[in-house]
Chain A
């Protein structure tokens, strides 16, 4: 078995299994904690449902916090969108997804893929730079740095493979896939889970405040 075969085969498959099983385990482990709720009378009998709006409204900070949050918000959005586009827009990724699910769609031109990949990487660098230079604002821990490395690695190796930099293409591609596998494995145990938690967390606060008639 070549390195590439290992990466494309057992490595990524097991990583996906851990990703899915770990995520379900962590989600269930939290949701089973649901116990009795708040017994006090809500401000409006059906007002609590308005709390779900927070899931969407919190996608952008209120103008009240514009200055303080501008950098983080804009750069984080650049990173998330650029990464998402690269993940689902590049020929090689579409082929991989097709091999798993059968679904397929037209790919981005290569140049666009590279450009967007670079945007993702640069914004990720911009995020870590700010984190490193403002320790009191971020309260970073080891998990934050491991997560950063494990997210940056697939981006860097992917761009290198795409540009035929570094070792032989097959080796580079294998390394790229292995870094993705590592990230998948890390996902359920790390803050990467925020991509799922955000819905629950915003909803929980939205409901708590809506109960009192406050829109947050």
Chain B
């Protein structure tokens, strides 16, 4: 029973959202900060970053590669292009050289026989660790040594942050989030305006800044500046469930450009502002919006002492899955064959496999698993910020063809995703390839199938604490 049928929609379709973003992303390139340090200092800072971040785990991975080549075809970027430079093990070569020269047990020897690292090496690295690695972890699934290239690539991104070598689009958004605390201008005011629009037009209330609440819900810039339907859907579901929830104007943004670019300081700052807000309001559950990398940014943030936090951090699909399993989601059946794409960050690198499937089951979906599904799923090609990089368009487009083939093999009419960045990438790929599939977001799908949205019935509305905005 879609309630949006009752009220004329005012938010753009996701296809329009996607087109709008393309324009905005184009502008980012002009906003990117220029390097300020000398070449020598930039190289030194990159090396120092790697020295500081190299733990025994990284060292063991760097030590154990035998150049057996197994990982190459597991990577969508190599598979799609056949170009040697995109093979996973090549992405860690420079890290290994720096490790051998600076950290490893035979560093005196490697200093003699290997070339020192130059800025040019780091410049060449940029394409390998940003454009052509989505840190998806698929290569780890096949490596006989179990090497986690994705983790190594992440450290290399940190090194490039130190060397002021972040690609323009990511650098611009990282700087914006660092200095202004917004992404694409999505500020607390943007949030409040969106909340007001949703209340005024759809009659759906979104509690903001309640002094205490059981559930704290995050949004994301994509939803706040473009895809109002995302936040609307979230609100409908929360109200349907009748949970005591709120959003916080000092901690609402899921997206974390610290994680995407490799800027650990921003990563920590951004995550901590959210965990602080959650603690202040005494939340028991923090729900992360459908924003794939926000899951590792918060839930798996290695710097945040999760064990001592008084609340659970769950991804939207996990939260919905929990509610579905508990029988609290009252949903109409869904038509047509459906498949689900696990975002790398919540699937293989996050472990939230069963919950989204439980949600689809609660809608009696004619569900079919992707071939190479679950922990073997192919990345859509847009993860880890790659969707934003204009330079990576060809890599993205080519690897998306793998995704098309994979989804087509299921015969499903709809592919459900649960990550804004996957969804943008799917949508762009769908339009470009005139692909006849429908791409749906899990949270919006659930909202469209809710039976009896309590927010629209007076009794239920009055049981909700009022909007404090």
A168 near B: Cβ within 8 Å? no
Q: Assuming A41-B306, A72-B69, is B83 touching A202 (CB within 8 A)?
A: no
Q: Assuming A41-B309, A137-B69, is B82 touching A212 (CB within 8 A)?
A: no
Interface of A is mostly: helix
B94 near A: Cβ within 8 Å? no
Decide if A34 touches B89 in the complex (CB within 8 Å).
no
Q: Which of B57, B61, B73, B351 interacts with A212 by CB under 8 Å?
A: B351
Decide if B67 touches A64 in the complex (CB within 8 Å).
no
Which of the 9-residue segments A6-14, A85-93, A193-201 touches chain B?
Answer: A193-201
B123 near A: Cβ within 8 Å? no
A111 near B: Cβ within 8 Å? no
A96 near B: Cβ within 8 Å? no
Decide if B145 touches A33 in the complex (CB within 8 Å).
no
Complex contacts, B250 vs chain A, CB 8 Å:
none
Decide if B66 touches A33 in the complex (CB within 8 Å).
no
Complex contacts, B57 vs chain A, CB 8 Å:
204, 208
Q: Which of A139, A140, A193, A215 interacts with B63 by CB under 8 Å?
A: A193
Which of the 9-residue segments B5-13, B219-227, B295-303 touches chain A?
Answer: B295-303
Q: Which A16-33 residues have C-beta < 8 A from chain B?
A: 25-26, 28-33
Decide if A201 touches B375 in the complex (CB within 8 Å).
no
Decide if B72 touches A137 in the complex (CB within 8 Å).
yes
Q: Which of A34, A35, A198 interacts with B64 by CB under 8 Å?
A: A198
Q: How far is the CA of A201 from the CA of B58 in the complex (A)?
A: 9
A61 near B: Cβ within 8 Å? yes
Q: Within the complex, what minimum Cβ distance (angstroms) separates A5 from chain B?
A: 31
Interface string of A130-145 (1 = CB under 8 A from B): 0100111111110010
Decide if B302 touches A68 in the complex (CB within 8 Å).
no
Q: Which of A34, A72, A73, A76 interacts with B55 by CB under 8 Å?
A: A34
Decide if A30 touches B63 in the complex (CB within 8 Å).
yes
Interface of B is mostly: loop
Q: Which residue of A lies closest to B303 (CB)?
A: A39
A43 near B: Cβ within 8 Å? yes
Q: Which of A41, A69, A200, A206 interacts with B307 by CB under 8 Å?
A: A41
B84 near A: Cβ within 8 Å? yes
Decide if B67 touches A35 in the complex (CB within 8 Å).
no
Q: How far is the CA of A32 from the CA of B66 in the complex (A)?
A: 23
B38 near A: Cβ within 8 Å? no
Q: Which of B67, B304, B375 interacts with A39 by CB under 8 Å?
A: B304
Q: Which of B60, B68, B73, B90 interacts with A201 by CB under 8 Å?
A: B60
A46 near B: Cβ within 8 Å? no
Q: Which B297-337 residues have C-beta < 8 A from chain A?
A: 299-307, 309
Decide if A213 touches B351 in the complex (CB within 8 Å).
yes
Most chain A C-beta atoms within 10 Å of own C-beta, residue among B61, B69, B90: B69
Band of interface residues on B: 35 or more
Decide if A204 touches B70 in the complex (CB within 8 Å).
no
B37 near A: Cβ within 8 Å? no
Decide if B66 touches A191 in the complex (CB within 8 Å).
yes
Decide if A201 touches B145 in the complex (CB within 8 Å).
yes
Decide if B147 touches A201 in the complex (CB within 8 Å).
yes
Q: How far is the CA of A209 from the CA of B60 in the complex (A)?
A: 16
Q: Which residue of B lies closest to A194 (CB)?
A: B66
Interface string of B333-354 (1 = CB under 8 A from A): 0000000000000001111000
Complex contacts, B93 vs chain A, CB 8 Å:
139
B74 near A: Cβ within 8 Å? yes
Decide if B64 touches A201 in the complex (CB within 8 Å).
yes
Q: How far is the CA of A76 from the CA of B68 in the complex (A)?
A: 10
A58 near B: Cβ within 8 Å? yes
Which of the 9-residue segments B16-24, B100-108, B155-163 touches chain A?
Answer: B100-108
Q: Which of B74, B109, B146 interacts with A68 by CB under 8 Å?
A: B74
Complex contacts, B137 vs chain A, CB 8 Å:
209
Decide if A40 touches B89 in the complex (CB within 8 Å).
no
Q: Assuming A202-B146, A214-B375, is B307 touching A68 (CB within 8 A)?
A: no
B59 near A: Cβ within 8 Å? yes
Complex contacts, B305 vs chain A, CB 8 Å:
39-40
B409 near A: Cβ within 8 Å? no
B184 near A: Cβ within 8 Å? no
A189 near B: Cβ within 8 Å? yes
Q: Which of A69, A191, A216 interacts with B375 by CB under 8 Å?
A: A216
Q: How far is the CA of A216 from the CA of B300 in the complex (A)?
A: 17
B455 near A: Cβ within 8 Å? no
Complex contacts, A171 vs chain B, CB 8 Å:
none
Q: Within the complex, what minimum Cβ distance (angstroms) separates A147 from chain B?
A: 9
B379 near A: Cβ within 8 Å? no
Q: Which of A26, A37, A202, A215 interacts with B145 by CB under 8 Å?
A: A202
Q: Which of B105, B304, B306 interacts with A30 by CB under 8 Å?
A: B105
Q: Within the complex, what minimum Cβ distance (angstroms) separates B24 from chain A?
A: 32
Decide if B74 touches A65 in the complex (CB within 8 Å).
yes
B148 near A: Cβ within 8 Å? yes
B142 near A: Cβ within 8 Å? yes
Decide if B84 touches A35 in the complex (CB within 8 Å).
no
Decide if B55 touches A33 in the complex (CB within 8 Å).
yes
Complex contacts, B54 vs chain A, CB 8 Å:
33
Q: How far is the CA of A193 from the CA of B60 in the complex (A)?
A: 11
Complex contacts, B89 vs chain A, CB 8 Å:
139
Complex contacts, B302 vs chain A, CB 8 Å:
37-40
Q: How far is the CA of A134 from the CA of B85 in the complex (A)?
A: 13
Decide if B59 touches A33 in the complex (CB within 8 Å).
yes
Can you list 19 A-B contacts (CB < 8 A)?
Answer: A25-B105, A28-B105, A29-B106, A30-B105, A33-B59, A40-B304, A41-B306, A58-B145, A65-B142, A134-B69, A135-B84, A138-B69, A141-B67, A200-B60, A202-B146, A205-B140, A209-B351, A216-B140, A216-B146
Q: Shortest 8 CB-CB distances between A and B: which pairs?
A: A29-B105, A41-B306, A213-B351, A136-B84, A197-B64, A205-B146, A202-B146, A137-B69
New A-B pairs, 12, CB < 8 Å, besides A61-B144, A198-B145, A204-B60: A29-B105, A30-B60, A30-B63, A33-B55, A39-B304, A41-B306, A65-B74, A191-B65, A191-B67, A198-B64, A200-B60, A208-B57
